[in-house]
Structure 1
């Protein structure tokens, strides 16, 4: 059961406007330079996305993830994934190459929501953090996670949560460098104490839930 304290924190966070999030995350004047490459940064809610935004978000996700998800236990279901991505409570931090905010220039984004974690803690759940292949290694992933940390702390969230496929070794290594560790809610957490899950079943789980305390 979600406690009154957690409920109030989540309600307050979910009322935050795009402008409030931009101010809190210090996304001003709306651009950054990483390794001599300039990016324009924008905060958006699902309702403010244009059709072109949605197409670009989906294209990046499909390009990066389809080949890994199809054989996984999570499976590949575009309809369900689009419902998740464009849920009414979804928030985005989006990075565009150069000074152009057109959807065609979108190269990275994180999609997150404020919601209760598996142990009823107030959490920032990072559903997606995607960077196009040609723009990796520039620090965009770290930049986006740093913004989630600032946002989470401001709205009194207790942790950042995310799910990662085990075969996505590059992402797992990056998250580890950024301070994420296996969350107690992860199916194969060593001390889960779940007597109903056998050792063989734990070995078959092909994803992990990671968290970073705030």
Structure 2
């Protein structure tokens, strides 16, 4: 998994605001709370075609700030170059969505670098939108945030957002993620 991650992300991460920090990334990917979905070749059980790293977490609700939302966060999703455009990325996203729904998560979330245009297109096609927690609130590919953050006076809290080189995306998994008091 680490070699696939490195092949896919070392250059892109190095050029990003996140930078390249292998020790930190390994700690995140192999954290005790991390869960992995692994796709191997049907002809060779040792060939890694793709993987996803997931964590079940709790995030502040941007609909009802006093409430916490249960989310399934996709920390990583990678497909080996020889296996791209074969539906593996879509399959991994679908599995994550099914797991999120099964465990009654409110949202499926992920972070994507703006430089990763292939992933941006794929996530938009799969129905992801910009999460209210994203530092960037607009992008041509995504229609609108999952919810709008409001401050205590009821005014939109857009002044705290700063342009950066990534988006936080989400896909709502339950109606309660958009309703007050559930």
TM bucket normalised to smaller: 0.7 to 0.9
**3-state SS of 1:121 partner:** strand
Task: Give the aligned partner of residue 106 of structure 1.
Answer: 48
Identify which of 133, 136, 154 aligns with 1:185: 133
Please report how far the alpha carbon of residue 101 of structure 1 lies from its aligned counterpart in structure 2 after TM superposition: 2.6
Identify which of 113, 136, 158 aligns with 1:165: 113
1:195 and 2:137 equivalent? no
Q: How does 1:43-54 map to 2 (within 5 A)?
A: none
**3-state SS of 2:159 partner:** coil
1:206 and 2:148 equivalent? no
Task: Give the aligned partner of residue 179 of structure 2.
Answer: none
Q: How far apart are the structure 2 equivalents of 1:212 and 1:98?
A: 30
Q: How far apart are the structure 1 equivalents of 2:2 and 2:93?
A: 20
Runs of 4 or more above 2 Å deviation: 99-102, 117-120, 194-197
TM-score, normalised by the number of residues in structure 1: 0.67
Please report how far the alpha carbon of residue 97 of structure 1 lies from its aligned counterpart in structure 2 after TM superposition: 1.2
TM-score, normalised by the number of residues in structure 2: 0.79
Aligned CA-pair RMSD: 1.4
Q: How far apart are the structure 1 equivalents of 2:30 and 2:74?
A: 13
Q: How does 1:61-210 map to 2 (within 5 A)?
A: 61-102=5-46, 105-119=47-61, 120-189=68-137, 193-197=157-161, 202-203=162-163, 205-210=164-169
Q: How far apart are the structure 1 equivalents of 2:36 and 2:100?
A: 14
Please report how far the alpha carbon of residue 118 of structure 1 lies from its aligned counterpart in structure 2 after TM superposition: 4.0
Q: How far apart are the structure 2 equivalents of 1:83 and 1:187?
A: 24
Q: Which runs of 5+ in 2 are unaligned?
A: 62-67, 139-147, 150-156, 174-182
**Size of the alignment, in residue pairs?**
151
Q: How far apart are the structure 1 equivalents of 2:53 and 2:83?
A: 18
Q: Which runs of 5+ in 1 are unaligned?
A: 1-56
Q: Which has the higher helix share?
A: 1
Q: How far apart are the structure 2 equivalents of 1:118 and 1:177?
A: 26
